[in-house]
Protein backbone atom coordinates (compact mmCIF):
# COMPACT_ATOMS: atom_id res chain seq x y z
CA UNK A 1 0.00 0.00 0.00
CA UNK A 2 1.06 3.61 -0.58
CA UNK A 3 1.82 5.82 2.34
CA UNK A 4 -1.39 7.60 3.30
CA UNK A 5 -2.24 10.89 1.61
CA UNK A 6 -4.26 12.69 4.26
CA UNK A 7 -6.10 15.71 2.88
CA UNK A 8 -7.89 18.23 5.03
CA UNK A 9 -10.73 20.38 3.71
CA UNK A 10 -10.60 23.10 6.32
CA UNK A 11 -13.62 25.30 5.55
CA UNK A 12 -15.67 24.46 2.42
CA UNK A 13 -18.76 26.31 1.26
CA UNK A 14 -21.68 24.18 2.41
CA UNK A 15 -21.74 25.03 6.10
CA UNK A 16 -22.63 28.37 7.70
CA UNK A 17 -20.77 30.01 10.62
CA UNK A 18 -23.78 29.50 12.93
CA UNK A 19 -23.18 25.74 12.76
CA UNK A 20 -19.78 25.91 14.44
CA UNK A 21 -17.47 28.61 15.84
CA UNK A 22 -14.52 26.46 14.73
CA UNK A 23 -15.10 26.88 10.99
CA UNK A 24 -12.26 29.13 9.83
CA UNK A 25 -13.52 32.20 7.95
CA UNK A 26 -10.84 34.85 7.40
CA UNK A 27 -7.75 34.16 5.26
CA UNK A 28 -5.69 34.24 8.47
CA UNK A 29 -7.90 31.65 10.18
CA UNK A 30 -8.00 29.39 7.11
CA UNK A 31 -4.21 29.54 6.67
CA UNK A 32 -3.62 29.06 10.37
CA UNK A 33 -5.75 25.88 10.48
CA UNK A 34 -4.05 24.61 7.30
CA UNK A 35 -0.59 25.14 8.79
CA UNK A 36 -1.54 23.56 12.11
CA UNK A 37 -2.98 20.51 10.30
CA UNK A 38 0.19 20.24 8.22
CA UNK A 39 2.27 20.34 11.39
CA UNK A 40 0.20 17.42 12.68
CA UNK A 41 1.06 15.45 9.54
CA UNK A 42 -1.59 16.35 6.95
CA UNK A 43 -0.30 15.96 3.41
CA UNK A 44 -2.67 18.22 1.48
CA UNK A 45 -5.14 21.01 2.19
CA UNK A 46 -8.28 21.65 0.12
CA UNK A 47 -9.30 25.28 0.28
CA UNK A 48 -12.25 27.52 -0.37
CA UNK A 49 -12.31 31.23 0.42
CA UNK A 50 -14.96 32.98 2.49
CA UNK A 51 -15.85 36.64 2.84
CA UNK A 52 -14.06 37.70 6.05
CA UNK A 53 -16.97 40.01 6.98
CA UNK A 54 -19.69 37.38 7.20
CA UNK A 55 -18.28 33.94 6.31
CA UNK A 56 -20.13 33.71 3.00
CA UNK A 57 -18.32 31.54 0.43
CA UNK A 58 -16.43 33.79 -1.95
CA UNK A 59 -14.98 33.36 -5.47
CA UNK A 60 -12.51 36.23 -4.90
CA UNK A 61 -9.22 35.16 -6.45
CA UNK A 62 -7.18 37.61 -4.38
CA UNK A 63 -8.58 36.17 -1.15
CA UNK A 64 -7.61 32.71 -2.40
CA UNK A 65 -4.13 33.88 -3.31
CA UNK A 66 -3.67 35.42 0.13
CA UNK A 67 -4.65 32.13 1.76
CA UNK A 68 -2.41 30.00 -0.47
CA UNK A 69 0.52 32.37 -0.05
CA UNK A 70 0.18 32.49 3.75
CA UNK A 71 0.21 28.69 3.86
CA UNK A 72 3.24 28.51 1.57
CA UNK A 73 5.14 30.98 3.75
CA UNK A 74 5.09 28.49 6.63
CA UNK A 75 4.59 25.03 5.14
CA UNK A 76 5.33 22.88 2.10
CA UNK A 77 1.93 21.15 2.42
CA UNK A 78 0.16 20.55 -0.91
CA UNK A 79 -2.58 23.10 -1.55
CA UNK A 80 -5.56 22.08 -3.67
CA UNK A 81 -7.96 24.84 -4.63
CA UNK A 82 -11.68 24.25 -4.98
CA UNK A 83 -13.35 24.76 -8.33
CA UNK A 84 -16.63 23.59 -6.81
CA UNK A 85 -17.00 27.06 -5.30
CA UNK A 86 -20.36 27.59 -3.69
CA UNK A 87 -24.04 28.20 -4.30
CA UNK A 88 -24.69 31.16 -6.62
CA UNK A 89 -21.27 31.15 -8.31
CA UNK A 90 -21.03 30.66 -12.07
CA UNK A 91 -18.69 27.98 -13.46
CA UNK A 92 -16.28 30.72 -14.61
CA UNK A 93 -16.23 32.30 -11.17
CA UNK A 94 -15.54 28.88 -9.66
CA UNK A 95 -12.62 28.22 -11.99
CA UNK A 96 -10.94 31.62 -11.60
CA UNK A 97 -9.15 31.21 -8.21
CA UNK A 98 -7.39 27.96 -9.17
CA UNK A 99 -6.60 29.23 -12.65
CA UNK A 100 -5.16 32.48 -11.25
CA UNK A 101 -3.12 30.80 -8.50
CA UNK A 102 -1.97 27.98 -10.81
CA UNK A 103 -2.04 25.61 -7.88
CA UNK A 104 -0.57 22.13 -7.95
CA UNK A 105 -3.98 20.56 -7.45
CA UNK A 106 -7.61 21.63 -7.91
CA UNK A 107 -10.91 19.87 -7.44
CA UNK A 108 -12.77 18.82 -10.59
CA UNK A 109 -16.42 17.87 -10.12
CA UNK A 110 -17.50 15.17 -12.52
CA UNK A 111 -21.17 15.88 -13.11
CA UNK A 112 -24.25 17.95 -12.40
CA UNK A 113 -26.38 16.87 -9.46
CA UNK A 114 -28.65 17.89 -6.63
CA UNK A 115 -26.53 19.00 -3.65
CA UNK A 116 -28.58 19.87 -0.62
CA UNK A 117 -27.92 20.92 2.94
CA UNK A 118 -31.52 21.92 3.70
CA UNK A 119 -31.91 19.30 6.43
CA UNK A 120 -29.32 21.16 8.54
CA UNK A 121 -31.79 24.07 8.84
CA UNK A 122 -34.11 22.01 11.07
CA UNK A 123 -31.79 22.67 14.02
CA UNK A 124 -32.24 26.47 13.90
CA UNK A 125 -34.88 29.14 14.28
CA UNK A 126 -34.61 32.19 12.02
CA UNK A 127 -33.26 34.36 14.82
CA UNK A 128 -30.51 31.86 15.69
CA UNK A 129 -28.50 32.74 12.59
CA UNK A 130 -25.43 34.95 12.99
CA UNK A 131 -25.60 36.38 9.43
CA UNK A 132 -28.46 37.25 7.11
CA UNK A 133 -27.35 35.01 4.20
CA UNK A 134 -27.20 31.78 6.20
CA UNK A 135 -30.81 30.66 6.47
CA UNK A 136 -31.48 31.01 2.75
CA UNK A 137 -28.16 29.27 2.00
CA UNK A 138 -29.23 26.16 3.92
CA UNK A 139 -32.96 26.16 3.13
CA UNK A 140 -32.52 27.28 -0.49
CA UNK A 141 -30.11 24.42 -1.22
CA UNK A 142 -33.22 22.22 -1.54
CA UNK A 143 -33.58 23.80 -4.99
CA UNK A 144 -29.87 23.89 -5.87
CA UNK A 145 -28.43 22.11 -8.86
CA UNK A 146 -24.65 21.78 -8.68
CA UNK A 147 -23.83 22.49 -12.30
CA UNK A 148 -21.03 20.60 -14.02
CA UNK A 149 -22.09 20.13 -17.64
CA UNK A 150 -19.83 18.57 -20.28
CA UNK A 151 -19.23 22.09 -21.61
CA UNK A 152 -18.15 23.23 -18.13
CA UNK A 153 -15.96 20.18 -17.64
CA UNK A 154 -14.19 20.71 -20.98
CA UNK A 155 -13.40 24.28 -19.97
CA UNK A 156 -12.14 23.22 -16.54
CA UNK A 157 -10.06 20.42 -18.09
CA UNK A 158 -8.41 22.54 -20.76
CA UNK A 159 -7.63 25.34 -18.30
CA UNK A 160 -6.09 22.90 -15.82
CA UNK A 161 -4.11 21.15 -18.56
CA UNK A 162 -2.70 24.48 -19.78
CA UNK A 163 -1.59 25.43 -16.26
CA UNK A 164 -0.40 21.96 -15.26
CA UNK A 165 -2.90 21.81 -12.40
CA UNK A 166 -3.59 18.19 -11.45
CA UNK A 167 -7.33 17.55 -11.26
CA UNK A 168 -8.65 15.96 -8.11
CA UNK A 169 -11.67 14.27 -9.69
CA UNK A 170 -14.68 14.34 -7.38
CA UNK A 171 -17.06 11.45 -8.05
CA UNK A 172 -20.35 11.46 -6.13
CA UNK A 173 -21.97 8.74 -8.18
CA UNK A 174 -21.12 5.85 -10.49
CA UNK A 175 -22.20 7.88 -13.54
CA UNK A 176 -19.49 10.41 -12.73
CA UNK A 177 -16.86 7.73 -13.38
CA UNK A 178 -18.41 7.13 -16.79
CA UNK A 179 -18.24 10.89 -17.38
CA UNK A 180 -14.51 10.74 -16.60
CA UNK A 181 -14.13 7.89 -19.08
CA UNK A 182 -15.86 10.04 -21.68
CA UNK A 183 -13.51 12.95 -20.94
CA UNK A 184 -10.62 10.50 -21.44
CA UNK A 185 -12.00 9.29 -24.78
CA UNK A 186 -12.42 12.85 -26.01
CA UNK A 187 -8.93 13.95 -24.93
CA UNK A 188 -9.91 16.02 -21.89
CA UNK A 189 -8.48 13.69 -19.24
CA UNK A 190 -5.38 11.53 -19.16
CA UNK A 191 -4.46 8.85 -16.61
CA UNK A 192 -3.13 8.31 -14.01
CA UNK A 193 -6.07 9.81 -12.13
CA UNK A 194 -6.47 11.09 -8.60
CA UNK A 195 -10.09 10.48 -7.66
CA UNK A 196 -12.03 11.48 -4.55
CA UNK A 197 -15.03 9.26 -3.95
CA UNK A 198 -17.46 11.64 -2.25
CA UNK A 199 -20.06 9.68 -0.33
CA UNK A 200 -22.90 11.04 1.76
CA UNK A 201 -23.97 14.24 -0.03
CA UNK A 202 -27.77 14.54 -0.23
CA UNK A 203 -28.03 14.12 -4.01
CA UNK A 204 -25.19 11.61 -4.42
CA UNK A 205 -24.37 8.09 -3.28
CA UNK A 206 -24.68 7.24 0.41
CA UNK A 207 -21.67 6.91 2.72
CA UNK A 208 -21.69 3.12 2.97
CA UNK A 209 -19.13 0.40 2.41
CA UNK A 210 -21.35 -0.94 -0.37
CA UNK A 211 -21.28 2.41 -2.25
CA UNK A 212 -17.52 2.55 -1.93
CA UNK A 213 -17.12 -0.99 -3.24
CA UNK A 214 -19.31 -0.17 -6.24
CA UNK A 215 -17.22 2.92 -6.96
CA UNK A 216 -13.96 0.98 -6.73
CA UNK A 217 -15.20 -1.90 -8.88
CA UNK A 218 -16.46 0.51 -11.53
CA UNK A 219 -13.21 2.51 -11.53
CA UNK A 220 -11.16 -0.71 -11.75
CA UNK A 221 -13.20 -1.81 -14.75
CA UNK A 222 -13.17 1.55 -16.55
CA UNK A 223 -9.59 2.65 -15.89
CA UNK A 224 -7.65 -0.35 -14.52
CA UNK A 225 -6.26 -0.41 -10.96
CA UNK A 226 -2.85 0.77 -12.11
CA UNK A 227 -4.27 3.94 -13.68
CA UNK A 228 -5.82 5.65 -10.71
CA UNK A 229 -5.54 6.25 -6.99
CA UNK A 230 -8.45 7.13 -4.80
CA UNK A 231 -9.21 8.98 -1.62
CA UNK A 232 -12.53 8.88 0.20
CA UNK A 233 -14.69 11.63 1.70
CA UNK A 234 -17.45 10.51 4.04
CA UNK A 235 -19.80 13.47 4.46
CA UNK A 236 -21.28 13.97 7.92
CA UNK A 237 -20.75 12.32 11.29
CA UNK A 238 -19.85 9.53 11.92
CA UNK A 239 -19.47 8.76 8.21
CA UNK A 240 -16.28 10.81 7.90
CA UNK A 241 -14.45 8.40 10.24
CA UNK A 242 -16.18 5.23 9.08
CA UNK A 243 -15.35 5.88 5.43
CA UNK A 244 -11.80 6.91 6.38
CA UNK A 245 -11.25 3.62 8.21
CA UNK A 246 -12.60 1.51 5.35
CA UNK A 247 -10.54 3.39 2.78
CA UNK A 248 -7.36 3.07 4.86
CA UNK A 249 -7.90 -0.66 5.33
CA UNK A 250 -8.31 -1.08 1.58
CA UNK A 251 -5.23 0.90 0.57
CA UNK A 252 -7.08 4.07 -0.36
CA UNK A 253 -6.45 7.59 0.88
CA UNK A 254 -8.52 9.90 3.07
CA UNK A 255 -9.94 13.38 3.31
CA UNK A 256 -11.24 14.84 6.56
CA UNK A 257 -12.02 18.38 7.68
CA UNK A 258 -14.79 20.75 8.71
CA UNK A 259 -15.92 21.16 5.08
CA UNK A 260 -17.50 17.73 5.26
CA UNK A 261 -18.15 17.07 8.95
CA UNK A 262 -18.25 19.35 11.99
CA UNK A 263 -18.36 16.75 14.80
CA UNK A 264 -15.58 15.00 16.70
CA UNK A 265 -17.99 12.78 18.65
CA UNK A 266 -21.77 12.73 18.78
CA UNK A 267 -22.86 16.19 19.93
CA UNK A 268 -19.30 17.51 20.29
CA UNK A 269 -18.08 20.04 17.73
CA UNK A 270 -14.59 19.50 16.33
CA UNK A 271 -11.72 21.67 15.24
CA UNK A 272 -9.87 20.74 12.05
CA UNK A 273 -6.86 19.78 14.14
CA UNK A 274 -8.92 17.40 16.29
CA UNK A 275 -10.26 15.73 13.14
CA UNK A 276 -6.70 15.23 11.90
CA UNK A 277 -5.59 13.83 15.27
CA UNK A 278 -8.49 11.39 15.36
CA UNK A 279 -7.86 10.06 11.86
CA UNK A 280 -4.14 9.85 12.60
CA UNK A 281 -4.95 7.54 15.51
CA UNK A 282 -6.98 5.33 13.17
CA UNK A 283 -4.15 5.38 10.61
CA UNK A 284 -1.64 4.33 13.22
CA UNK A 285 -3.78 1.38 14.32
CA UNK A 286 -4.25 0.35 10.69
CA UNK A 287 -0.51 0.55 9.89
CA UNK A 288 -0.85 3.36 7.35
CA UNK A 289 2.05 5.75 7.84
CA UNK A 290 1.37 9.27 6.57
CA UNK A 291 2.97 10.45 3.33
CA UNK A 292 4.97 13.65 3.59
CA UNK A 293 4.03 16.36 1.08
CA UNK A 294 7.17 15.49 -0.89
CA UNK A 295 6.22 11.80 -1.00
CA UNK A 296 2.67 12.68 -2.02
CA UNK A 297 3.93 14.96 -4.80
CA UNK A 298 5.75 11.99 -6.22
CA UNK A 299 2.82 9.57 -5.66
CA UNK A 300 0.40 11.97 -7.39
CA UNK A 301 2.78 13.39 -10.00
CA UNK A 302 2.41 17.07 -9.07
CA UNK A 303 4.36 19.87 -10.73
CA UNK A 304 5.81 21.20 -7.44
CA UNK A 305 5.58 24.34 -5.34
CA UNK A 306 8.12 26.20 -7.47
CA UNK A 307 5.62 26.21 -10.36
CA UNK A 308 2.62 27.80 -8.61
CA UNK A 309 1.60 31.44 -9.02
CA UNK A 310 1.20 32.56 -5.43
N1 LIG B 1 -17.66 19.55 -0.10
C2 LIG B 1 -17.49 18.35 -0.86
C3 LIG B 1 -18.62 17.41 -0.63
C4 LIG B 1 -15.31 21.15 -4.38
O5 LIG B 1 -14.85 21.93 -3.57
O6 LIG B 1 -14.98 21.14 -5.55
C7 LIG B 1 -17.27 18.61 -2.29
C8 LIG B 1 -16.15 19.52 -2.69
C9 LIG B 1 -16.35 20.15 -4.00
O10 LIG B 1 -15.16 19.66 -2.04
ZN1 LIG C 1 -14.56 21.75 -1.51
What pLDDT digit, counting tens, does each position of 91-101 carry?
Answer: 999 999 999 99
Q: Which atom of ligand 1 is nearest to the CA of 233?
A: 3
- Does the C-beta of 271 come closer than 6 Å to ligand 1? no
* Residue from 46, 89, 91, 195 to probe ligand 1 pocket by mutation (most atoms less than 8 Å from CB): 46
* Residue from 8, 59, 83, 107 to probe ligand 1 pocket by mutation (most atoms less than 8 Å from CB): 107
Average pLDDT, the chain: 98
- CATH class of the domain comprising 6-307: alpha beta
The pLDDT value given to residue 295: 98
Beta carbons of 64 and 97 less than 8 angstroms apart = yes
The pLDDT value given to residue 226: 98
**If you average pLDDT over residues 42-70, what whole number do you get?**
98
Report how far ligand 1's centroid is from the alpha carbon of 132 (Å): 23
In angstroms, the CA 106 to CA 126 distance is: 35
Report how far ligand 2's centroid is from the alpha carbon of 12 (Å): 5
User: How do residues 159-177 score in pLDDT, each as one tens digit?
Assistant: 999 999 999 999 999 999 9
This prediction's pTM: 0.98
In angstroms, the CA 47 to CA 259 distance is: 9
**Alpha-helical segments (H) within 56-130:** 61-74, 91-101
- Does the C-beta of 254 come closer than 6 Å to ligand 1? no
Q: Which atom of ligand 1 is nearest to the CA of 107?
A: 6
Q: Which helix (H) or strand (E) holds 50?
A: strand 49-50
**If you average pLDDT over residues 104-130, what whole number do you get?**
98
Map out the domains of the chain as residue ranges: 6-307
**If you average pLDDT over residues 230-242, what whole number do you get?**
98
Which ligand sits nearest to residue 116's alpha carbon?
A: 1
Please report the beta strands in 62-171, taking only residues with DSSP state E, as ranges in sequence order.
78-81, 105-109, 113-114, 145-146, 166-171
pLDDT confidence tier of residue 278, bands split at 50, 70 and 90: very high
Q: Which atom of ligand 1 is nearest to the CA of 235?
A: 3
Task: Report percent pLDDT > 70 for the chain.
Answer: 100
Q: Which atom of ligand 1 is nearest to the CA of 82?
A: 5
Beta carbons of 194 and 300 less than 8 angstroms apart = yes
Beta carbons of 198 and 240 less than 8 angstroms apart = no
Q: At what angle do helices 61-74 and 91-101 cross, to 10 degrees?
A: 30
- Does the C-beta of 170 come closer than 6 Å to ligand 1? yes
- The protein residue whose alpha carbon is closest to atom 8 in ligand 1 is 84
The pLDDT value given to residue 88: 95
What DSSP designation does 3 have? P
CA–CA distances in Å: residue 108 to residues 63, 137, 169, 274: 20, 22, 5, 27
Amino acid sequence: MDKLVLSVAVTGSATVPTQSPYIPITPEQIASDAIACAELGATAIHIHARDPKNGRPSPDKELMKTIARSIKAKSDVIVGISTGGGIGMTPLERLEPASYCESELASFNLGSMNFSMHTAARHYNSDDYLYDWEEEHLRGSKGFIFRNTFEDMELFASTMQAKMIKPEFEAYDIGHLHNLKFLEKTGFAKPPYWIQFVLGVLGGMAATAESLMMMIQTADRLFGKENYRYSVIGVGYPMQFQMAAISMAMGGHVRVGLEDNIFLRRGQLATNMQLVEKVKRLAEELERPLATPAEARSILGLKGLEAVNY
